[in-house]
């Protein structure tokens, strides 16, 4: 994961906290997005999943031990903007100033830094699974 991703994730979290101050969720139309990420047929746990629309804010999710994720748009709104998204999936994290733990990237770059994954989010519930392979 590069520094730009970390900055983007921090900015998204900050914007999410700001939006938590409003009483009504406002903003773009969202679709709920959840799914399972596997790598070589096994659940990929502790991976980040980012959906970036053609315009607007990205949505972020983290996989659990079974590889399941759910996207968050802000701290108070789940889902992702309706429309097409570039998708990035990875495991690399970099600790900053003594916080967190460095984790190596275990997912091929074609799914994160050089991702060509594109998914469409519709209104309502979207189940989007990713079956990744390490041979890419």
Q: What percent of the chain has pLDDT over 90?
A: 68
Residue burial 3-40, b: 16+ Cβ < 10 Å; e: rest: eebeebbeebeeebeebeeeeeeeeeebbbbbbbbbbe
**Which segments of 45-87 does DSSP mark as H helices, in order?**
none
pTM of the model as a whole: 0.78
Determine which of 6-15, 40-49, 79-88 has the lowest per-residue pLDDT on average.
6-15
pLDDT, position 94: 78
Reply yes or no on whether the pLDDT at 93 is more than 50: yes
81 token code pair: 């903007």
What domains are defined for the chain?
3-132 (2.60.40.10)
pLDDT, position 25: 54
Query: What is the average per-residue pLDDT within 9-22?
Result: 47
Reply yes or no on whether the pLDDT at 116 is more than 50: yes
Residue in the structure block whose two tokens are 């991976």? 47
């Amino acid at each position: 994961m590069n520094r730009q991703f970390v900055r983007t994730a921090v900015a998204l979290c900050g914007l999410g906290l700001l939006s938590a101050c409003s009483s009504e969720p406002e903003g773009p139309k969202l679709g709920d997005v959840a799914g399972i990420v596997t790598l070589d047929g096994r659940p990929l746990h502790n991976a980040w999943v980012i959906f970036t629309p053609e315009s607007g804010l990205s949505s972020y999710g983290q996989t659990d031990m079974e590889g399941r994720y759910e996207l968050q748009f802000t701290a108070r709104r789940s889902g992702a903007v309706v429309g097409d998204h570039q998708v990035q999936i990875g495991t690399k994290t970099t600790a900053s100033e003594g916080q967190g733990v460095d984790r190596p990237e275990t997912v091929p770059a074609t799914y994160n830094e050089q991702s060509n994954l594109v998914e469409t989010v519709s209104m309502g519930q979207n189940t989007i699974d990713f079956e990744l392979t390490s041979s890419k």
